[in-house]
């Protein structure tokens, strides 16, 4: 809150039972967080970051992309603003495509691919159900069952590269959400203190570095984007 805009960059451990070409047990993530930001502010920041990264790679790394036999014509078309679709409409789209998806569920890899195929570039999916998002996401003021959240899906079937949204700044509601998620209160006392002694509206997101690298480089598997991949059954190189 004192600095206004901050970010961190480091390894993230996630013990998911997901054995797909899009998942690692440990990956690297950059996480910006902005005071007084809204969901729209976060989307604007995320779009700008993606466009800047793709543009710089195209400017400075043509030789490497050629070695990887990457078709750069698709990358050259990446520009703001990205397409936007609500979770509600994305769920309807999946049903129309014949996929067995029900409202309230999280998108799997086939779902994300089907959604992204509907657009030429990255797409921002907003308004995920609060039940499937982390406890600290702020609910929509008019629809508390929906969160003020966004996932940015990369084109060409590479799935989610960014996830974020507005954070809960209400102490009582945050306590309620921690209890609803059956999380140990004592583990989050430090986090509750940030609200207990006064907070401000804020928002942010996390960008998965390996997923972005996989997409830009046109790689077949996420493990090719990191020197020593930790996966579901592999902790060591």
Backbone angles phi, psi at 182, to 5 degrees: 55, 45
User: pLDDT tens digit string along 50-77?
Assistant: 999 999 999 999 999 999 999 999 999 9
Query: Are the C-beta atoms of residues 2 and 24 closer than 8 Å to each other?
Result: no
Domains of the chain as residue ranges with CATH:
35-167+202-225 (3.30.930.10)
Q: Encode pLDDT of 139-184 as tens digits.
A: 999 999 999 999 999 999 899 999 999 999 999 999 999 998 899 9
C-alpha distances in Å from residue 117, one per residue of 83, 90, 204: 12, 12, 26
pLDDT level of residue 18 (50, 70, 90 thresholds)? low
Q: Which of 22-26, 113-117, 219-223 has the lowest mean pLDDT?
A: 22-26
> Which residues, 6 or more positions from 127, have their beta carbon under 8 angstroms from its beta carbon?
86, 87, 88, 140, 143, 146, 147, 148, 149
Output the pLDDT for position 153. Answer: 97
The pLDDT of residue 39 is above 70: yes
- Residue 166: strand pairing partners: 203
**What Å distances lie between residue 141 and 51, 86, 197, CA to CA?**
31, 16, 23
pLDDT of 16 higher than 70: no
Mean pLDDT score, 127-148: 95
Contact 181, 132 (CB under 8 A): no
| Residue 120 near residue 81 (C-beta atoms within 8 A) | no
């Amino acid at each position: 809150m004192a600095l206004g805009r901050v970010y961190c960059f480091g390894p993230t451990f996630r013990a998911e039972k997901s054995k797909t070409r899009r998942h690692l047990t440990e990956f690297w993530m950059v996480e910006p967080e902005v005071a007084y930001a809204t969901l729209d502010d976060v989307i604007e920041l995320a779009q700008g970051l993606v466009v800047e990264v793709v543009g710089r790679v195209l400017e400075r790394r043509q030789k490497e992309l050629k070695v990887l036999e990457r078709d750069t014509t698709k990358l050259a078309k990446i520009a703001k603003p990205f397409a936007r679709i609500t979770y509600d409409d994305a769920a309807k789209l999946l049903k129309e495509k014949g996929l067995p998806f029900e409202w309230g569920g999280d998108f799997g890899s086939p779902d994300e691919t089907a959604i992204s195929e509907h657009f030429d570039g990255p797409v921002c999916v907003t308004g995920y159900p609060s039940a499937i998002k982390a406890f600290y996401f702020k609910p929509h003021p008019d629809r508390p069952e929906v969160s003020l959240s966004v996932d940015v899906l990369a084109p060409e079937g590479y799935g989610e590269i960014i996830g974020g949204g507005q954070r809960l700044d209400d102490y009582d509601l945050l306590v309620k959400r921690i209890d609803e998620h059956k999380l140990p209160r004592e583990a989050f006392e430090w986090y509750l203190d940030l609200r207990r002694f006064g907070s401000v509206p804020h928002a942010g997101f996390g960008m998965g570095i390996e997923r972005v690298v996989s997409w830009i480089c046109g790689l077949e598997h996420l493990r090719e984007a990191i020197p020593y991949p930790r996966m579901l059954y592999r902790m060591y190189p």
